[in-house]
Amino acid sequence: EVQLVESGGGLIQPGGSLRLSCAASGFTVSSNYMNWVRQAPGKGLEWVLLVYGDHITNFADSVQGRFTISRDNSRNTLYLQMNSLRAEDTAVYFCASGERWLSNWGQGTLVTVSS
Amino acid sequence: DIQMTQSPSSLSASVGDRVTITCRASQSISTYLNWYQQKPGKAPKLLICAASSLQSGVPSRFSGSGSGTDFTLTISSLQPEDFATYFCQQGYSTPYTFGQGTKLEIK
């Protein structure tokens, strides 16, 4: 059974950094398309990025240059490094697998950017 | 970026009703259109991919259709567990974009 578990969210001041984790089981992160999607409180879904292996990463304009992605194959875990955080980055962040459709989702982790 | 417009934004219906939600893309996306169901405090769940392909385990009362720019999600006979928010999403090109959501409420 495929399972994704996000962690690392919390309260952070504007301009700060945070690293989210997405731990996978039941499949191999490094050989699958992975996404991050976020949802601001009471709002809709916003796609953040798509990554596949070491070669393909696409970012939303809203996070380009501030967010980066990395992976620990030994832990089968994807990391989202978020820098220069802004109030508008406040959201629940989900990781999800899939290339053109998002088949499996984690439960999400809440990031709150506030002073 | 491809804009996705869903309608209606909210809908009141009764158990047993047939409901249709529409999604329109700002340009042709072939059949790269997906539908998700989200309940409060939960992650979205993929219902339909590629416009009309029902995911395993999803009840057959859900169906999807369309191609190009216009798509529909139909629930043939609403059940109590179907009251939720529904989102469409284009997977044609990044940045992937979602519709604003349709909140389906009990009448």
pLDDT in tens, B42-59: 999 999 999 999 999 999
Low-confidence ranges of chain A (pLDDT < 50): none
Which residues fall within 8 angstroms of residue B23, CB to CB, at 6 or more apart? B4, B5, B6, B33, B35, B66, B70, B71, B72, B73, B88, B99
CB contact under 8 A, B95 and A105: no
Between A55 and B24, residue with greater pLDDT: B24
Q: How far is A68 from chain B (nearest CA, A)?
A: 16
What local confidence, expressed as pLDDT, does residue B76 receive? 97
B interface mutation test: which of A2, A45, A58 has the most B CBs within 10 A?
A45
**What's residue A56's pLDDT?**
79
A81 CB near a chain B CB, below 8 Å?
A: no
Is the pLDDT confidence value at B37 over 90? yes
pLDDT number for residue A68: 94
Tell how many helices (H) and how many strands (E) occur in chain B: 0, 11
Non-local CB neighbours of B80 within 8 Å, separated by 6+ positions: B15, B106
Q: Which DSSP symbol is given to A11?
A: E
In a 3-state reduction of DSSP, which class is residue B101?
coil
Q: Determine the pLDDT at residue A49.
A: 96
pLDDT for residue A54: 77
Residue B58 touches partner A, C-beta closer than 8 Å: no
Nearest to A60 among B43, B49, B95 (CB): B95
Is A101's CB within 8 Å of B50's CB? yes
The answer to whether the Cβ–Cβ distance between B34 and A60 falls below 8 Å is no
- Identify whether the C-beta of residue B71 lies closer than 8 Å to the C-beta of residue B6: no
pLDDT of residue A55: 74
* pLDDT value of residue A98: 96
- Is the model's pLDDT at B91 over the cut of 90? yes
Q: Identify the pLDDT of residue A12.
A: 98
C-beta of residue A16 within 8 angstroms of C-beta of residue A115: no
